[in-house]
A and B are shown apart, each in its own frame.
Chain A
Amino acid sequence: MTDQKKLEKLFKQHYRQMYRLATILLHDDAESKDVVHDIFARLLNDHTVLREETAESYLLTSVRNRCLNVIRSRQIQERVERLYLLDPDTNITTTDALLSDSEKQLEEELKALYEGIDLLEPPVCRDIIVQHFRDGITFKKIAFRMGVSETTVYKHLRRALSQLRTHLKKQ
């Protein structure tokens, strides 16, 4: 097998996981694609051959480091705008272990949160969370669409977040 074929195999094998980790950290489809893209572009360019048993760990660590670099390069306002984790370094450690304990914990939390969204009551709370976090609509716009004040939207948002928090604690 040529080097490129080997790399293609790794690409197809690990793409999902790499892309997923990038979107968890960066919250952005295009940027996440670019992160994975750049990692493989470098491997292709340098003709690096990864050992199969360490490839996964190497690739995920690369995603993590690149994403952390992106996050660090941004000012606090931009970080908040993109809703980055405040201290991703401590939440996502960069040890050699495939999935560190804190990362496993984060995975569990994300799973719980996502399930929690479906359970939000009343439906308006769920709608607000979905519109804001999935569709990226500002709370101001949501208020406008619903024909209510922003304060009302914030009230629903608080209720929703408090339910999510409770759901998270149950885990």
Chain B
Amino acid sequence: MNKTDLLLQMMEQPQRYTADEWQEILADDECRELYTLMSKTQSAVSAARADEEVTDEMIDAEWQRLTNTESGDTKHFTLHSKLLKFAAMFVSILMLSGIAYAAIQIVSRNNSSPKQEVTEVAITQPSTANSQVIETDSIATVQPKLYDNVPMGEIFEELSAYYNVKVVFQNEDAPRLRLFYRWKPEYTLEKVVEMMNNFEWIQIQTENDTLFIRTTAIPATDC
């Protein structure tokens, strides 16, 4: 394999190589030139996109973002509203599970403070509960899954197999959009679609056995 082939291959997964390996390959004139050409091509595309995308509305919106969060630590400014929405979603999920937990607590407290004559019942209940847990554990091999900053393309590759549906991404950015999403096997497909649609920049429509997915956000170019 020649050096520039190696460079291209390395560029597909930069993290797999050490800093020394990178220094070494980029010290080569031919590789350095090729890399620089690609870097400038990227800059050219980014600049053209900037020319196209910056509208008066966007500038106004950015000014609003600035003046609405005017005082305080500048660090906070860089927290995009996207992140806040993710956070909000998690809080709501946590709250739901909190409520569920509280409900279990209440039920079990009722069960655990019985009078003498119902003791039998109180004892048999947990034991049936236990056996159920064991049963479901041995049957269900599908585990809940945490997608931490995973492209939608990958998430839906797995979900579509699980739910046996087809997935159509309607814009090219869609499969690259990275999500933080906690999936559980008990979710129905409708539930997943509903959760995803809670993200402002994701729109999913179901038709027969196909999900049509469209996104409105532009994911970071390095995804």
Which partner residue on chain A sits nearest B71 by CB separation? A45
- Residue pairs across A and B with Cβ atoms less than 8 A apart, 5 shown, are A19-B54, A24-B47, A29-B49, A81-B14, A83-B39
Q: How distant is B78 from chain A, measured CB to nearest CB, in Å?
A: 5
**Contact yes or no, A38 B74, CB < 8 A:** yes
| Interface secondary structure of A, over-half rule | helix
Contact partner of B59 (CB less than 8 A), chosen from A15, A113, A117, is A15
Q: How distant is B50 from chain A, measured CB to nearest CB, in Å?
A: 4
* Interface residues on chain B, number (Cβ under 8 Å): 56
Chain B residues lying within 8 Å of A27, measured Cβ to Cβ, are: 42-43, 46, 221-222
B-facing mask of A100-111, CB < 8 A → 1, else 0?
Answer: 000000100111
State the CA gap A11–B39 with chains docked (Å): 29
State the CA gap A75–B17 with chains docked (Å): 12
**Contact yes or no, B40 A86, CB < 8 A:** no
Which residues of A are interface residues toward B (Cβ below 8 A)? 4, 8, 11-12, 15-16, 19-20, 23-25, 27-34, 36-38, 40-42, 44-45, 75-78, 80-86, 106, 109-111, 113-114, 117, 129, 131, 133-140, 154, 157-158, 161, 164-165, 168
**If A45-B74, A77-B17 touch, does A15 touch B42 (CB 8 Å cutoff)?**
no
**Counting CB contacts under 8 A, is B188 at the interface?**
no
Which partner residue on chain B sits nearest A8 by CB separation? B63
18 more CB-based (< 8 A) A-B contacts, given A11-B66, A135-B173: A11-B62, A15-B54, A15-B59, A16-B50, A20-B51, A27-B46, A29-B53, A30-B80, A36-B62, A41-B66, A44-B66, A80-B10, A80-B22, A117-B45, A136-B221, A161-B34, A161-B41, A164-B41
**Contact yes or no, A19 B172, CB < 8 A:** no
**If A34-B78, A82-B222, A137-B172 touch, does A110 touch B62 (CB 8 Å cutoff)?**
no
Q: Which of B23, B66, B69, B173 has the most CB of A within 10 A?
A: B66
**If A23-B46, A30-B80 touch, does A135 touch B172 (CB 8 Å cutoff)?**
yes
**Counting CB contacts under 8 A, is B67 at the interface?**
yes
A-facing mask of B1-43, CB < 8 A → 1, else 0?
Answer: 0001100101110110101001100100000101111111111
**Contact yes or no, A12 B63, CB < 8 A:** yes
Q: How distant is B86 from chain A, measured CB to nearest CB, in Å?
A: 14
Contact partner of A164 (CB less than 8 A), chosen from B17, B37, B46, B71, is B37
List 7 A-B pairs, minimum CB-CB distance, nearest first: A113-B44, A110-B44, A23-B46, A77-B14, A80-B14, A114-B44, A20-B50
**Contact yes or no, B221 A77, CB < 8 A:** no
**Contact yes or no, A29 B218, CB < 8 A:** yes
Which partner residue on chain A sits nearest B8 by CB separation? A154
Chain B residues lying within 8 Å of A8, measured Cβ to Cβ, are: 63
Chain A residues lying within 8 Å of B62, measured Cβ to Cβ, are: 11, 15, 33, 36-37
Chain A residues lying within 8 Å of B67, measured Cβ to Cβ, are: 4, 44
**Contact yes or no, A40 B66, CB < 8 A:** yes
Chain B residues lying within 8 Å of A41, measured Cβ to Cβ, are: 66, 69-70, 74, 77
**Contact yes or no, A86 B78, CB < 8 A:** no
Chain B residues lying within 8 Å of A37, measured Cβ to Cβ, are: 62, 65-66, 77-78
State the CA gap A78–B17 with chains docked (Å): 11
State the CA gap A91–B172 with chains docked (Å): 32
Contact partner of A31 (CB less than 8 A), chosen from B14, B65, B71, B220, is B220
State the CA gap A77–B69 with chains docked (Å): 34
State the CA gap A8–B14 with chains docked (Å): 41
Which partner residue on chain B sits nearest A140 by CB separation? B12
**Contact yes or no, B222 A24, CB < 8 A:** no
**Contact yes or no, A24 B43, CB < 8 A:** yes
